[in-house]
Amino acid sequence: MTSYQENHDLLKICKLAPVIPVLVVDETSKAVPLAKALITGGLRVLEVTLRTDNALAVIKEMVNSNAEGIIGAGTLLSEKDVYAAKKAGAKFGVSPGATEQILRACAEVSLPLLPGAATPSEVMSLLSKGYSVQKFFPAESNGGVKALKSILGPIPGVSFCPTGGVTPTNAIDYLSLTNVPCVGGSWVAPENKIKAADWRAITERARSTQAFRKPSAG
């Protein structure tokens, strides 16, 4: 698979739901009930960030126990992270930026990547390598909706998943843009709700995001 084909497949994944929950999970025992709570609420695509010691084990548990879920690994910062995420069963990877090492490793193991970009030059550089689906990060700090609207004019061939400062209040503004198939957000399953095992609240938050769904995705 070429980087373009892998990235193109990722666009299909991004269109499955309006929000990709960005998850920070430390306790492996919370993996399966958390994934089920989110999937029950209509969010099948989940990003587990590699920010905790047990993140890879959490990914493995989710992958093995939730057939309907599409589990990705976030915060990929090195080749080692890419290889470990693939071994854990991640179906896609997310990086806050992009390095040649990460791009090469993802291509080597056929892990579809959502690489981070924050400027037109970074967007163009990734597009030249075949990455037509990118993570706009950190979204709010880099101009938010206005910035993405400005990028759409000269670079219409790139779709973005904005992450960083995206909330229930501004998510619908991002999703109104034609170059935004989905957004990434931590509010759906915040750490305090996960630690409290408040699965009902997380399911309700997931269900509430369906109001953001684009009409064409229904």
Least confident of 3-7, 40-44, 91-95: 3-7
Output the pLDDT for position 217: 43
Q: How far apart are the first and last CA of the chain?
A: 29
Task: Convert the pLDDT of each residue in 62-86 to its tens digit.
Answer: 999 988 999 999 999 999 999 999 9
Contact in structure between 126 and 148 (CB atoms under 8 Å): no
For residue 176, the tally of other CB atoms under 10 A from its CB is 12
- Domain range annotation of the chain: 3-209
Does the pLDDT value for residue 215 go beyond 80?
A: no
Query: What is the CATH code for 3-209?
Result: 3.20.20.70
Contact in structure between 79 and 105 (CB atoms under 8 Å): yes
Task: Convert the pLDDT of each residue in 126-184 to its tens digit.
Answer: 999 999 999 999 999 999 999 999 999 999 999 999 999 999 999 999 999 999 999 99
H, E, C per residue of the chain = CCHHHHHHHHHHHHCCCCEEEEECCCCHHHHHHHHHHHHHCCCCEEEEECCCCCHHHHHHHHHHHCCCCEEEEECCCCHHHHHHHHHHCCCEEECCCCCHHHHHHHHHHCCCEECEECCHHHHHHHHHCCCCEEEECCCHHHCHHHHHHHHHCCCCCCEEEEECCCCCCCHHHHHCCCCCCCEEECCCCCHHHHHCCCHHHHHHHHHHHHHHCCHHHC
Question: Which residue numbers are catalytic?
Answer: 47, 135
Does the pLDDT value for residue 1 go beyond 90?
A: no
